[in-house]
Amino acid sequence: MLAKVHSATLSGLEAMEVTIEVDNFDGGQNSRFSIVGLPDNAVKESQERVQSALRVNGYKAPFRSVVVNLAPADVRKEGSGFDLPMAVGVMLSFEFLKIETPDRYMFVGELGLDGSILPVKGVLPISVKAREMGYEALFVPAENAREAAVVNKLKVYGVSHLNDIVGFFNGSLSIEPTHVNTREEFYSHLFCYDIDFDEVRGQENVKRAFEVAAAGGHNIILVGSPGCGKSMMAKRLPSILPPLTLSESLETTQIHSIAGKLKKEDSLISQRPFRAPHHTVSDVALVGGGNTFMPGEICLAHHGVLFLDELPEFSRSVLETLRQPLEDRIITISRSRYSLTLPCFFMLVASMNPCPCGYHHHPTRSCVCTPAQIQRYMNKISGPLMDRIDLQVEVESVPFEDMAKSPKGEPSSAIRERVLKARQIQVERYQDVKGVHCNAQMNTSLLQKYVQLDDAALNLLRTAMKKFTLSARAYDRILKVSRTIADLEGVEQVQSHHIAEAIGYRNLDRENWVE
């Protein structure tokens, strides 16, 4: 008997419907179980898992040949999620199970040898696809049920064992669809941060720089000696960023679902991601790809923060892969088997020591590095990459007396309120400009339109460019940052004190910085 069961496979960040056809026939003494339709090794091994699960649970098939076709046959099938639909198809083919209208259901899940159903990656985009294709219900592993149930207008049944499927369709077992109140769950965790800026003592100038960066979506690099608090403050940046919208959350959650980063109790990601890969990360781990596609760190940081600690310690090839994503907010991955364009709209936060020993410009400790050594250390970061970083901030160590006596700092909630007001100004300003949502995305024509300097501001900028020998690339960065500072102040005209503050965030561009 020929049976058809529906499932799905992942293609980049989206799911593709797959029809699993199962037929059995008399193969004589050469009876076999074969899988066709471009299966990878994990799919081919489904044969052993499916046969064991059926045998252990008493579904002993007659001595007949079984052929399983995964359609469309010209698309490569990967992963273990086809175990469950294959088992259901075999049971339908041998009439161990009867489903009146199998075309109404989609199945996905991995099988244990005892028939238990194990979690798989990418259930959320599969759930989105099931609703889009008009399926009535989706059967997934119980541990993936909350993740899949985020999608409304689709019944999601979480099952733990193959016998649960049999019991459900023969009427001996009642399974309630998993229900997730998406909006309630999303908004209840929106402002639940474990760390806060009020825990940072001193460093007011650095906290101000983070506020400016958050308000305009600017990339920022922190330069300071070891232990001065660079990483501590970087980790708190998500707490002052505008909260995720529901659509941003769904997009981010799908990426983390494909990467297998969601926990059993998770449904939607409510807070902006913060990704901090180690400096030994490879090119593929950062941008994504591999023989079987897997999102990289820059995609996992989508709508969030990518933090690169000890920036010069990253390999040059890894850092250069960031240039296109920082500019275009997307990454194109081309491999022999596939070509994908993925979203990666993130804020880059980097930190580094000022020199190899770490104590250049330190107020109390002497630096043992020569100017040539410092210059070689700084040259590990290419000009084009530094060109994409708007704020360059020196971080000084806080003396013990200041740490002990300093009052509690301003909470993240207060800073976030100012950031939100500035972002709202930008949303209204760029509402008719496609692809531009914040000041950091302004091009030259938008700069000329929205940053018009009076004589005092223009003279100050001209003097600073000459005095500090600032590069031409610093000019646009200063204008963008000054526009954000003016937005934080709530004024339309960029004034001289806005320019002055923006100039103060270009420390590394100064010609005499290494001296």
**Predicted confidence (pLDDT) per residue in 335-372, tens digit:** 877 788 888 999 999 999 989 998 887 878 888 988 88
DSSP H stretches of helix in 9-82? 41-44, 46-56
Average pLDDT of the chain is: 90
C-beta separation of 137 from 123 below 8 A:
no
Q: What is the C-alpha R_g of the chain?
A: 28
**Predicted confidence (pLDDT) per residue in 173-194, tens digit:** 999 999 988 888 788 777 888 8
Distance (Å, whole) CA 437 – CA 442: 9
- Residue 5 DSSP SS3: strand
Q: Indicate whether 103 pLDDT > 90.
A: yes
- Residue 372 DSSP SS3: helix
User: Is beta strand 339-343 parallel, antiparallel or unpaired with respect to 330-334?
Assistant: antiparallel
Residue 254: the pLDDT is: 92
Helix (H) or strand (E) holding 379: none
Distance (Å, whole) CA 162 – CA 122: 21
Residue 417: the pLDDT is: 95
Q: How far is CA 223 from the centre of its chain?
A: 26
DSSP H stretches of helix in 431-471? 444-450, 455-467
Cα–Cα distances (Å) from 216 to 290, 423, 479, in that order, read 34, 7, 12
State yes or no: cis peptide before 354, omega within 30 of 0: no
Distance (Å, whole) CA 8 – CA 161: 20
Percentage of residues of the chain with pLDDT beyond 90: 59
User: Quick one: which of 442, 445, 509 has its CA closest to 482?
Assistant: 442
Helix, strand, coil shares, percent, the chain, to 5: 40, 15, 40
C-beta separation of 66 from 93 below 8 A:
yes
Buried b (16+ CB within 10 A) or exposed e, 136-170: ebbbbbbbbbbbbbbbeebbbbbbbbbbbbbebbe
Question: Region 274-294: what's the mean pLDDT?
Answer: 90
Distance (Å, whole) CA 75 – CA 241: 41
Sign, CA dihedral 493-496-502-508, equals: positive
Question: Region 372-385: what's the mean pLDDT?
Answer: 87
158 forms beta bridges with 140
Question: Region 291-304: what's the mean pLDDT?
Answer: 91
Q: How far is CA 30 from the centre of its chain?
A: 49
C-beta separation of 55 from 88 below 8 A:
no
DSSP E strand stretches across 187-325? 220-224, 274-275, 288-289, 294-295, 305-308
Buried b (16+ CB within 10 A) or exposed e, 9-26: bbebbbbebbbbbbbbee
List of residues 6+ apart from 42 with CB closer than 8 A = 78, 79, 80
Q: How many residues does the chain have?
A: 515
Burial class (CB in 10 A: 0-12, 13-18, 19+), 120: buried
Question: Region 245-255: what's the mean pLDDT?
Answer: 91
Residue 8: the pLDDT is: 95
User: Quick one: which of 52, 63, 119 has its CA closest to 86?
Assistant: 52
Measured in degrees and rounded to the nearest 5, phi and psi for residue 59 equal -100, 75
Distance (Å, whole) CA 212 – CA 209: 5
Question: Region 221-244: what's the mean pLDDT?
Answer: 92
If one compares 186 and 255, the residue with the highest pLDDT of the two is 255
pLDDT range class, residue 119, cuts 50, 70, 90: very high
**Predicted confidence (pLDDT) per residue in 399-411, tens digit:** 666 666 667 778 9
User: Quick one: which of 164, 186, 188 has its CA closest to 111?
Assistant: 164
Distance (Å, whole) CA 216 – CA 196: 20
Cα–Cα distances (Å) from 266 to 5, 60, 303, 323, in that order, read 28, 38, 18, 33
